[in-house]
Structure 1
């Protein structure tokens, strides 16, 4: 019986350690910015999402990299010619297509953050 209680206590402690620090992660994503017209199919490797295109404001070539894995969830929705917008201070990632605007608010542990 004592071993079962210790085992349950250990599992409880480990499961609480595996939960993400949503409040800490929010600050990381608020600092990110990417405003571009996508000119190359997204490069999505195991760790990072690399996006290459033209800066929407200047037309100059630009590169955005998501190493937090939020944007990579939507890479299948991205196509060459789409406008990608993630403004600094906001927690929504937008994909503007020819006839549609997709918006993806940031979620953590089932809660939508703004």
Structure 2
């Protein structure tokens, strides 16, 4: 049975951007990323944000499993094997900021 981790619960664009930074040698530089959505869903005029704890937990525990690496190695992008090896060691090491939580 294949046991995928949560690392691949993302758009492939994000993996490709990681790869582009790795290829260009900029993967160790500081970067900023955001969790957001492009437009209000369902034609609503407002949105309620929930799930901050899930986002923090996801990022803090982000790991690429052997199955994740195997899956990526079989993709048409033909990721460099050294990049895939580096993903095995990936651990988030930055800071996270959020708007103040109101109740």
Q: TM-score range with shorter-chain normalisation?
A: under 0.3
Given the two structures, how large is their TM-score scaled by the length of structure 1? 0.25
Given the two structures, how large is their TM-score scaled by the length of structure 2? 0.26
Greater strand content: 1
Which of 1 and 2 has greater Rg?
Answer: 1
Greater helix content: 2
If asked which structure has higher relative contact order (CA below 8 Å, sep 6+), I would say 2
